[in-house]
Structures are given as C-alpha cells and as structure tokens.
Structure 1
Amino acid sequence: MIAITNLSYFLGDRPLYEEASLHIKPKMKIGLIGLNGTGKSTLLRIINGEYQSDGGTISKSGDCTIGFLNQDLLSYQTDDSILSVAMQAFERQNVLQRQIDKILHEMEVNYYDELIDKLAKVQEEFEALDGYSIQSKAESILEGLGFSTDDLQKPLREFSGGWRMRVMLAKLLLQKPSLLMLDEPTNHLDLPSIQWVEKYIQSYEGAVIVVSHDREFLDNVVDNIVEVSGAKLNHYSGNYSFYLEEKALRNEIQRGAFENQQAKIRQTERFIERFKAKATKSRQVQSRVKSLARMEMVEEVLDENTKVHFRFQFTTQPGRHILHLDNVSKAYGDKVILNNSTISIERGDKIALIGANGKGKSTALRIVAGTEDVDGNRRLGHNVEFTFYAQHQLESLNLDHNLIEELKYANPTKTEASLRTVLGCFLFSGDEVFKKIRVLSGGEKSRVALAKVLLSQANFLLLDEPTNHLDMQSVNILIQALQQYEGSYIVVSHDRYFVESIANKIWFIEEQQIKEYPGTYEEYCIWMEDRAQNPAAEALVKKIADVKPEPKPRQDDESKARRNQLKKQVAELEEEITRLEKQKMDWEAKLALPEVYGDAARLSEANKEYGLTRQRLEKATEDWESAVEEAETLG
C-alpha cells in the first residue's frame, strides 16, 4: 500500500532519518515508538505529504487515502455543531443531501417529470452510499468518544482543546481512510473512551499507524511495532510486549557481536603496532590495515532503560492521618459533582484517582489541595506538606533559568552535584543541564516540572495527568521515582500500565461520592467485572441500605449496648492483630530466603502478599484504636 525506501531527512546537519525503509501493508496495525525528538511525528507528516524528504522515495497505491490526527487540530474552531463537524467526513453524501433538499424545494412550486427523474437518480446514489444512516453513525461514534446526546448540537468552539480533538478523531474515523495515522490520541481521552477506541481500531478495516506512550493501548491495538532509533526504522512483528522481548534478544546478539568485533579490532591493532616497523611483516601489516578500513562496524548497544538511583527524601515526617474529607459537597450550578462525600487518606497511601472525564476527578484533586471552595470539612493532618503538579503549571517555570537554577529554586539545600544526579535521572546529561527553560520542548518541560515536584521535600504529592507528553522512557523513570518515594500521593491518570505500577489504592467517583477500592488497579478491574456481572448483589446492598432504622432505644440502654459491642469488637481486633503480626513476621522471614529473593516471580508474589498483610494490620490497628477511644468516652 505504501513503500518507504531509503528515506533521508535532516534537521540542519542532524539526520532524523538516513536510508530508512518501511513497507506498510493493508490492514497492518503499527505502533510507532521511540524517544522524544527522534522524529515520530515528522515521519507521519512526511507520509502525509506535509514535509518533503531529503532523499529516498515514498510510493503509494493509487487508491490509498490517508487520515491524520495531529496536535495542530486542537486550534480548529467553528460555530458549527460538533455533529455537523463530524458529518463533514461524508463529503459526497452531503453534496447529494443538498441536491435532494434543493429539488424538493423546487418541486413545491414546479412539479414535472424531469425533476422527478433527477430526484430519483440523486436519491438512488444517496441510498447506495448509505446516506440515510450517516447521522446515526456520526452520533454513535461521538457518543462512544464520551459526548452526551445533548452535546451533539453544541458549537465546537464551546469545547476545550481535548474535546475538540475528539470531534476531529470522530470525523477521521467516519471517513475510513486506507491509512489512519494517530499522533498521541490517548492524551485527550479518558479511560472509557480509550477502551472504546481500542475496540474500534481492532475491527478497523484499513491500516493504522499510532504514536502513543500508552503501552497497554499499544498491546491491545497493534500487531507490529516500528521503532525509530539511530535514524532507522526497526520493524518488529508483534505488539509492544513482543517488542520488549524481541528487542532484548536482538540487543543480546548485537552486544555479543560488538564485543567480539572489538576484541578482533584490539588484536589486529596490536599486531599492526608490533610489526609495523618490520620489513618482513609489511605485507601482513598492510593487509590488516585494509581489513580494518573495510570492516563494517557493529554499533554498541545503548541502554535505553534508565534506572533511577536517586533517593527522594523529605525532612518532615507527617502524622498517621494525611487528610480527611467529611461530608464534602461540590456543585457547579445544577451539576452536582460531590454530595456529602466522606473519605480519608492515611500515611503510605499511593492512590490513583480514575474514571471518565466530567465525573469530577480534577475537581476532587483541587478539593484535596484546598484550592476549591466546598461545603463540608477538609482536615489536613499533622506535619503534612504537599505539592501539586498539573500541566498548566509548566507555565510557572522561569523561562530565563537554566535547568540547574530551576531545580535549585525548588530545593536550595541541594548541591549542584546532587541536582545533576536528579537531572540525569530525568534524561538531562552533560551540558544539557545549562539549557534555558525557554528552549525546551513540552516533554522536556514536563520532566523538569516533575523533577521539581520530587525535589520539593513535600511528603504528600498531588499529580494531575503527569504522563501526558512523556515518552515511554520518561514514564518508566517517573514510575521508578514514585515507587521509591516514601511519602503519600494521589495521581489522576488514564495510563493503565502507569496506574498498575504505582498505586496501592484506587479512588473512583460514583453516585456523587468518592469511593475507594483497597487494592491494585488489576484487582480493581476484576472486582468491577464481578460487580457488573452480579447486579443482584448490588440491588441487595441498596435494598439493605434503604431499610428504615428501628426506633432508637433509651439513651442508657443504648450506651450500655454500645459499650458491650465495643468490648467484643476490641477483643476480636486484638486477636486479629496478633494473627496478622505473626503473618507479617512469617512473610518477612520468607522474603529473606535465598530461594525467594533469587526468584523474581516468587519475590514479586511474596512482596505483594507482605504488602497486603501490612495494610490489613494497619487497618486492624486503626480500628482497634478507634474502638478503644470510643469505649473510653462512654466510660
């Protein structure tokens, strides 16, 4: 369908591509990956004809059509409804619809046979092009991407950039081009919309090239990976997980070939150095010199899996309770976000706040931060110091600072060597640390802002979509940093791999309440599936909740009954704490066994069980403390 042969493209004297080749076949689903700045978006623009290559050829079949979703579309605005904009995809059908309307209008005053014949022909073509169902198709796709039925008639300009991008995506999907090119589509989609797009692309009849840092999205939709590396296009026949395995194998082979070649070069150079002055060996020396000159060099394998070795610390230890929201309510006009919602954050909580856009995730994060006016109580715990990261805060970076100066501003106690170490963790090395903020790309600014957050010595982090505009290597670095972080945090993110890697609790907003699932994202998904498949259980819970309470007993009887209940609860909790403490010690002993810590799978499972046991012990201890305190107040 499209053949890219010996493509070359230069930025100044730096080659983005040099004799790179790729063959795109019909129905291929390609994930285009690579570090930021390697030229992924540039390649899509070259294929689309926006940029001209410096060498090589791009051949397309005659019937090949291309649809390109890119970040430039964010700026498109119009007073037309979003349904009208999406239906612009049906160019021929729209032309025919206007002709039909014009003929019908003319027939109101001038009814003759030629006009009837003309109408019949136009309607026949319109029906052949499935024109009578184009509106329902457009509505279906827009609603799949998260728009409500009421939204469809609203002007495009009323929507934010991310929602406008969804409209343009809907238009492209309706056009059904031979090749659909999507540049970071998940940046502007919530989780339900991402899952809808995944299913759509899986069944899409044309070819697809998608640039994305969402590895689970790539695993679910692509069957080929093309990696931009070393100015080449390296092809892998599989999804992203297959690519990781195959690349590790290729790297191992290349590393062996490189080391063997280097050993041969050293041996040859020693021979040349030893015998270059001997006339009797001149022929052998010249032969070896020529063989070195002719040798096709094997490139050294560069380790792109950067490891974070910096320990992010804070000086002030918080109390046990980080924050408590008590009967918090928030509404914007008639739209209620939260209604008498109560929830707590404890020290050590690593929370991911997930869900569809418009449910109030960012509002909830601002409520936690104390920047949103609410009804109800917000209580911050003892010694809690927090910092807030969001995309708009990139604008607060001082453009005249270099990277060292900007991080020094965040934490004046750090030495330049320490700051260089931190910047190295976030992929800034050498003289790059003296770059001015103003010359950095969006992704680079995001990395600097995240480094500032982790250097701030805050013991509680609030992070709103921190992975947006980061490449996979940068996301991996952020995951490692958060896994090492000893404080508490709440993260809003739609990146499922990221959430699974960093969260031990899941928050979601449902029925105007912030609800909590006390486990990992994978466990949460299983729980949600079970809950969806067993609606009877949900109905029973609701029925029990709706039962009216019996009349209250007299105060004295109530106090006595409550004291007895607490006495029994304290005893049961003491037994539970004793059992869990023994269980915790057993897991600690297992983690110290060589056969466990030497086996990655067993170590991972043991760590998981140990973490769950520790959480249960902390919860039981907290419940015991609460019960004892209440019993003391009752005398």
Structure 2
Amino acid sequence: MLSISNLNFYFGSRALYEGANLHIKPRAKIGLIGANGTGKSTLLRLISGEYTPDGGNISKSGECTIGFLNQDLLSYQTDDSILEVAMQAFERQLELQKLIDKVLHKMETNYEDKDVDQLAKLQEEFELLDGYTIQSKTEEILEGLGFTTADLTRPLRLFSGGWRMRVMLAKLLLQKPSLLLLDEPTNHLDLPSIEWVEKYIHDYEGAIVVVSHDRYFLDRTIDHIAEVSGAKITLYPGNYSFYTEEKALRNEVQKGAFENQQAQIRQTERFIERFKAKASKAKQVQSRVKALDRIDIIDDVIDEKAKVNFKFNFGTQPGRFILFLEHVSKAYGDKVILKNTSATINRGDKIALIGANGKGKSTLLRVISGTEQIEGERRTGHNVIESFFAQHQLESLQVENTLLEELKSTGTTKTEMELRSVLGCFLFSGEEVFKKIKVLSGGEKSRVALAKVLISEANFLLLDEPTNHLDMQSVNILIQALQQYEGTYVVVSHDRYFVSNIANKIWYIEDNEVKEYPGSFDEYETWMSTRTSEQAPVAKSKEKPKPELAPVEVTPKSKSTEKEIEKLEAQIMTLENELETIEHDMAALAQASKFDDLKNLELKRNEVQNKLDETTASWELLIG
C-alpha cells in the first residue's frame, strides 16, 4: 500500500534518515518507536507529504488515502460546535445535504419534473453514503472519547488543547482513511478514552502507524514495531512485548559477532605489527592489510537501557503522617468536584491518582499541595517538605540558563559533579549540560524539570502527568528514580505501565469522594473488572476476601508413589540434558548470525522448558 525505499532526510548537517526502508501493507498496525530526536514525527510528516525527502522514494498505491493526527492540531480554534467540526469528515454527505435542502426549498414555490428527478438522484446517493446516520456515528465517537451529550453543541474554541485534539481524532476516525498516522494519540486522553481508542484501533479496517510511548497501548493495538535508530528503520513482527524479547536476542547475537570480529582484528593487527619489517613475511603482511581494508565492520550494541546510578536523598525525615484531608469539599459554581471527603497520606505511600478527565484529579492534587481554596480541613504532618511538578512549570524554567545553572538555582547543596551525575541520569551527558534551556525540546524540558524536583530534597512529591512528552527510555529512568526514592509521593498519570511500576496504592474519585485501593495497579484493574462485571452488590471492604484453604492431610507415601517419583526424576534429568544441548546449539547459531535457525531452535527450547516445568511441578506435588 505504501513503500519507503532508501529514504534520506537531513536536519541541517545531521542525518535523520539514510537509506531507510519500510513497507506498509493494508491493515498493518505499526508502532513507531525510538528515542526523542530520532525523527519519528518527521517520518509521519514525510509519509503525509508535508515534508519532502532529500533522497530515496515514498510511493503509495492509487487508492491509498492518508489521515494524519499531529500535535499542531492543538492550536486549531473555531466557533463551530465540536459536533459540526467532527462531522466535517463527511464532506460529500454534507454537500449532498445542502443540495437536497436547496432543491426542496425551490420546489416549495416552483415545482418542476426535472427538480423531482434531481432530488431523487441526490437522495439516492445520500442514502448510499449512509448520510442519514452520520450525526449518530459522530455522536457515538465523540462520546466514546469522553465528551458528554451537552458538550456536543459547545463551540470548539471553549475547549482546552487536549480536548480539541480529541475532536480532531474523532474527525479523523470518521473519515476512515486507508492509512491512519497518529502522533502520540494517548497524550491527551484519560484511561477510559484510551481503552475506547484501543478497541477502535484494534477493529480498524485500514492500516495504522502510531507513535506512542505507552507500552500497554502498543501491546493491545499493534502487530508490528518499527524502530527508528541510527538513521535506519528496523521492522519487528509482533507487539511491543515481543519486540523487547526479539531486540534482546538480536543484541546478544550482534554483541557476540562484534566481539569476535574485534578479537580477529586485534590478532591481525598484532601479526602486521610483528612481521611488517621482515622481508620473508612481506607477502603475508600485505595480504592481511588488504583483508583489514575489506572487512565489513560490525557495530557494537548501543546500550539503550540507561540506569539511574544516583541516589535521590532528602535531609529531613518526616513524621509517620504526611497529610490529612478532613471533610473537604470543593466546587466550581454548580460543578461539584469533592464533597465532604476525607483521606490520609502516610509516610512511604506511593500513590497513583487515576481516573477519567473531569473527575478532579488535578484539582485534588492542588488541594493536597494547599494551593486550592477548600471547605474543610487540610493538615500536614511533622517535617513535611513538598515539591510539586506540573506541565505548566516547564514555562517557569529560566530559558537563558544552562542545564547546570538551572539545577543550581534550586539552592541545592550538591556539588557540580553530583549535579552532572543527576543530569547524566536524565540523558544529558558531556557538554550537553552547558546547553541553554531555550534550545531544548518539550521532552528535554520535562526531564530538566523532573530532575529539579528530585534534587529538591523534598520528602513529599506531587507529580502531575510527569510522563507526558517523555520517550520510553526517559520513562524508564523516571521509574527507576521513583522506585529508589525513599520519600512519599502522589502521581497523576494515565500511563498504565508507569503506574504499575511505581504505585503501592491507587486513589480514584467516585461520587465526589476520594476512594483508595490498597494495592498495585494490576491488582486494582483485576478488582475493578470483577467489581464491574458482578451483578450482585458487594460488601464495602478495603481488603480483598481471602479464600479459605482446606487442611492438607499428610499420609505416608505408597510404593507406587515412590516408583512414580523415581520415574519423574529420570525424566527431569533427561529433559535437563536435552535443554543443555539445545542452549549449546543456540550459542553456536548466534555466533554464526543464523537468525531463522535460531528462532526455530528457540521455539524448541521453550517447548522443552515447558515440559520440564510441568514434570518438575508433578514431582514436587508427589514429594509433598
């Protein structure tokens, strides 16, 4: 459907793409990933025709239509209602409706046979294009994306950038292009909307290329991963989880091949150095020099899994209780956010505040920080030192400061070497620490602002959507930083992978009250799914009911049981030997870079491992 061949594109003197290739088939669902700055959004603009390649070719079939959702659409404003804007997707149907209305108006005063014929033709085409259902289809998609029925008649200009982006997404989905390009579509969506879009994309009949850092979203929507790295595009079959496994396997093979080649090069260079002065060895030396010139150098594996090796400490230890909210109410006019709700934050709580947009998550975060006027009481505990991160704080960065100067401006007592180490954790290395804030991208500014929060030595952090505009590597760094952080925090986020790795409690707002689930996000999802599906009312309890375990009766093992145990032990030994042989063969294939054979052997290895696990489980059951 669309083919990219030997693509070259340069940003100044820097090559974003050199000899890159990608083939997009009909109905393919491709996740486009890579570090910030590698050119993912640029590739979408090249495919859409907004940018022109510096070399190579992008060709598409004649019937291929392209729809592109990009971040520029955030600034679009109009007085038209959001229903009218989304319905612009049905250009021909709306044109037909106007023609039909015009003919009907004319027939009211001047009835002619030719008008009747024209009206019949127009109505026939209108019906063939499902013109009578376009409004209901539009309403269904807008409401699926989180708009209420009352919202549909409100002007687009009254909505924030994130909500305007949803309207543009609705319009694009209604157009049903054969190739849909989506640039970070989940950035401005809440969890219910993300789940709705996941299902819609899964069932979408056209092809999709989506840039996203949401791993759960990619796992549930796409069937291929296209990785942008080193000015090339590498395509992996499967979802994101499969990609991580396959990437690790390829890296292992490449690392082995690189090390073997380097050893061969060193051996050849030693031979040349040793015998270059001997006339009797001149021919052999010359032969090896030519061999070195002809060698196709294998690149070393780039370590993209940055590790945080800096401990984010705080000087003052708080008391057991961090914050109390008692009988708190908050409303904006008639819109009630919180009503007579109470909550407690204890030292060591790692809280994720989740839920649909409009429920009041950001308002609650401001209530917790003490920057929002409320009815009721807010009390902080002993020695609580707070630091607040929100997207609007990126604007408060001093644009003329260097990265190093910006971190020093927090008043930290850390040395310059320690600050450079912190910046290194957030992917700013070497001379990059002397960059000015004004030249940074949005994602880079987010990393600087997050670094400022973490070196503030606060023992209580409030983070509002900290993963917005961060690539996967940066999200991984933030996860590591928060996992080793010994203080308390409350995080608002819609990134399910991020939340599942950093939270030990889940907060959500329901019936204008703060509700708590005392467990991880994965446990919360399971609990919520069960709760939603159950028809009968359930008892309100913070603890999940524990199943009663039947007492285990211990009896002597019979002779037949002992024979069965011996038989299983023999099978386990055989399977272990078989597994060892397979892994030895896999190592040999990896050295030879035989990926297809390696993949087949990997399947056999998994089959033997599964059988070994089953046999071992049976053995453990018998021996008690």
Same fold (TM over 0.5): yes
Letter in 2 for 1:116: V
Cα distance in 2, alignment partners of residues 400 and 64 from structure 1: 46
Gap regions ≥5 residues in structure 2: 542-624
Could you say which residue in structure 2 is the equivalent of 1:346? 346
Q: Tell me whether 271-280 or 308-317 shows the greater mean CA deviation.
A: 271-280
Letter in 1 for 2:481: A
| SS state at 1:480 partner | helix
Could you say which residue in structure 1 is the equivalent of 2:82? 82
The structure carrying a bigger helix percent of its residues is 1
Could you say which residue in structure 1 is the equivalent of 2:163? 163
- Pairing of 1:564-603 with structure 2 (within 5 A): none
| SS state at 1:205 partner | coil
Q: How big is the shift at 1:59?
A: 1.0
Could you say which residue in structure 2 is the equivalent of 1:229? 229
Deviations 1:116-173 (A, max 9, x none): 1100000000000111101110000000000000000111000000000000000000
Letter in 1 for 2:11: L
Deviations 1:511-551 (A, max 9, x none): 0101000000011111111111224224x769xxxxxxxxx
Could you say which residue in structure 2 is the equivalent of 1:310? 310
How much identity, in percent, do the aligned residues show? 73
Contact 1:411 1:455 in 2 (8 A): no
Q: How big is the shift at 1:11?
A: 1.2
Q: Tell me whether 107-116 or 439-448 shows the greater mean CA deviation.
A: 107-116
Could you say which residue in structure 2 is the equivalent of 1:20? 20
Could you say which residue in structure 2 is the equivalent of 1:533? 533
Could you say which residue in structure 2 is the equivalent of 1:449? 449
Cα distance in 2, alignment partners of residues 410 and 349 from structure 1: 25
Q: How big is the shift at 1:29?
A: 0.3
Q: Please tell me whether residue 187 in structure 1 is matched to residue 199 in structure 2.
A: no
Contact 1:352 1:499 in 2 (8 A): yes
Contact 2:365 2:462 in 1 (8 A): yes
Deviations 1:359-379 (A, max 9, x none): 000000000000000000001
Could you say which residue in structure 2 is the equivalent of 1:62? 62
Deviations 1:451-496 (A, max 9, x none): 0000000000000000000000000000000000000000000000
Could you say which residue in structure 2 is the equivalent of 1:546? none
Cα distance in 2, alignment partners of residues 5 and 49 from structure 1: 15
Q: How big is the shift at 1:406?
A: 0.9
| SS state at 2:15 partner | strand
Cα distance in 1, alignment partners of residues 105 and 152 from structure 2: 27
Contact 2:329 2:375 in 1 (8 A): yes
Could you say which residue in structure 1 is the equivalent of 2:601? none
Q: How big is the shift at 1:35?
A: 0.2
Letter in 2 for 1:192: P
Q: Tell me whether 271-280 or 494-503 shows the greater mean CA deviation.
A: 271-280
Letter in 1 for 2:26: P
Letter in 2 for 1:272: I
Letter in 2 for 1:275: F
Cα distance in 2, alignment partners of residues 529 and 427 from structure 1: 38
| SS state at 2:186 partner | helix
Cα distance in 2, alignment partners of residues 411 and 70 from structure 1: 39
Could you say which residue in structure 2 is the equivalent of 1:428? 428
Could you say which residue in structure 2 is the equivalent of 1:279? 279
| SS state at 2:204 partner | coil
Deviations 1:244-288 (A, max 9, x none): 000000000000000000001101111111111122222211111
| SS state at 1:51 partner | coil
Contact 2:402 2:436 in 1 (8 A): yes
Could you say which residue in structure 2 is the equivalent of 1:30? 30
| SS state at 1:469 partner | coil
Deviations 1:99-125 (A, max 9, x none): 011111111111121111100000000
| SS state at 2:400 partner | coil
Could you say which residue in structure 2 is the equivalent of 1:294? 294
| SS state at 1:456 partner | coil
Q: How big is the shift at 1:78?
A: 0.5
Contact 2:226 2:233 in 1 (8 A): yes
Deviations 1:191-225 (A, max 9, x none): 00000000000000000000000000000000000
Could you say which residue in structure 2 is the equivalent of 1:380? 380
Contact 1:32 1:226 in 2 (8 A): yes
Cα distance in 2, alignment partners of residues 513 and 269 from structure 1: 73
- Pairing of 1:100-111 with structure 2 (within 5 A): 100-111=100-111
Could you say which residue in structure 2 is the equivalent of 1:49? 49
- Pairing of 1:86-101 with structure 2 (within 5 A): 86-101=86-101
- Pairing of 1:389-468 with structure 2 (within 5 A): 389-468=389-468
Q: Please tell me whether residue 175 in structure 1 is matched to residue 189 in structure 2.
A: no
Cα distance in 2, alignment partners of residues 488 and 411 from structure 1: 21
Could you say which residue in structure 2 is the equivalent of 1:495? 495
Contact 1:506 1:521 in 2 (8 A): yes
Cα distance in 2, alignment partners of residues 497 and 192 from structure 1: 15
Q: How big is the shift at 1:31?
A: 0.3
Q: Please tell me whether residue 244 in structure 1 is matched to residue 248 in structure 2.
A: no
Could you say which residue in structure 1 is the equivalent of 2:329? 329
Task: Report how many residues are paired.
Answer: 541
Deviations 1:84-109 (A, max 9, x none): 10010011111101101111111111
Contact 2:362 2:464 in 1 (8 A): yes
Letter in 2 for 1:11: F
Contact 1:182 1:210 in 2 (8 A): yes
RMSD: 1.0
Letter in 1 for 2:8: S
Cα distance in 1, alignment partners of residues 26 and 531 from structure 2: 40
Q: How big is the shift at 1:293?
A: 1.1
Could you say which residue in structure 2 is the equivalent of 1:149? 149
Cα distance in 1, alignment partners of residues 385 and 454 from structure 2: 12
Could you say which residue in structure 2 is the equivalent of 1:259? 259
Contact 2:323 2:379 in 1 (8 A): yes
Gap regions ≥5 residues in structure 1: 543-635
